[in-house]
Amino acid sequence: MIDIALKLQVPITALCASQQLDISMRDIALTVRDWATLHDLLKLFYIFVRPTEKLQGSSYPTLNYTVPQYMRMIKKLKDMRSELLERSPIATATSIALKKLNDYYTLVTNQYQSHSTIATICDPRYNFNVFNIIWKDSIYLTRKNRAKAQWQDCFYRYSGRESDIQAANVMDSIEAEDLAIEQAINIDIDSEDELYVSQSRHNIEPEWKQWMKEPTVGRDIDILKYWQSKQYQYPLIASIAKDYLAIPATSADSERVFSVGGDIITKKRNRLSPSTLRYLLCLRNWGVLSQGDDEDSGDDADNES
C-alpha distances (whole Å) from 6 to each of 38, 41, 79, 258 are 8, 11, 23, 38
The span from the CA of 152 to the CA of 162, in Å, is 11
Per residue in 54-77, pLDDT tens? Answer: 887 766 678 888 889 998 999 999
How confident is the model over 165-183, as a mean pLDDT? 60
CA dihedral 16, 22, 25, 26 (to 10 degrees): 90
For residue 188, the model assigns a pLDDT of 53
- Give rounded-to-5 percent helix, strand, coil for the chain: 70, 0, 30
> Domain coordinates of the chain in residue numbers?
57-249, 260-305
To 5 degrees, how large is the angle CA 290–CA 293–CA 295?
110
How confident is the model over 68-92, as a mean pLDDT? 87
C-alpha distances (whole Å) from 108 to each of 38, 103, 112, 168, 227 are 32, 9, 10, 16, 26
The answer to whether the Cα torsion of 99, 103, 108, 113 is positive or negative is positive
For residue 238, the model assigns a pLDDT of 93
For residue 170, the model assigns a pLDDT of 60
The span from the CA of 287 to the CA of 305, in Å, is 28
- List beta partners, residue 62: 248
- List beta partners, residue 248: 62
pLDDT band for position 50 (50/70/90)? confident
